[in-house]
Homo-oligomer: A and B are copies of this chain.
Amino acid sequence: MLDSETKAVETPEDHAEELRLWLRLLTCTTLIEGEVRGRLRQRFDVTLPRFDLMAQLDKAPDGMTLSDVSKRMMVSNGNVTGLVERLVESGHLDRRTSETDRRVQVIRLTKLGRAEFRRMAAEHETWIADLFVDLTPKDVRELMRLLAKTKASAQKSAARRRP
């Protein structure tokens, strides 16, 4: 068997397909994210990061620490500090220092915060449904599967670099 027949080891590898995939993934996300951001602003005068933070807290009735939030939202600590500050200011969040560990701040939705979030979330869900409306249930399942695989692959790759 000749070298030239063995999987083209010598040629500089062509990753154009993966690159195109990444750009398409990014385009889809940017498109949908922009649409959601605009609607949140128009309908509720709220920003996407605020909405996302409230969404995290809505799933945690007992509250979360800032670190939890920062990990879940995949943003920096400092970012969360400012975000929380503004949401406490506007009365949507309650923030208190943990009894057992005075480094830790526990934040919760206030009654107002929860009520407003639920109202927004209900409408938000219909927007998402509309944005994905042309996908069949099978498309959705298949996308879920492939994105799960993508996420796993990317996490492994990230871990290889930063073990």
Contact = CB atoms under 8 A, between A and B. Distances in A.
B26 A29 contact: yes
A76 to B, nearest CB: 10
A143 B150 contact: yes
Copies of the protein in its oligomer: 2
Interface string A1-40: 0000000000001010111111011111111111100010
Nearest to A132: B18
A112 interface: no
Contacts of A29: 25-26, 29
Given A31-B151, A74-B30, A157 B144 contact: no
Interface string A112-144: 000000000000011011111111010110111
Given A13-B129, A29-B29, A134-B156, 4 more contacts: A34-B74, A131-B153, A131-B157, A139-B149
10 contacts: A15-B126, A17-B144, A21-B132, A21-B143, A24-B151, A31-B74, A31-B151, A132-B154, A139-B149, A142-B142
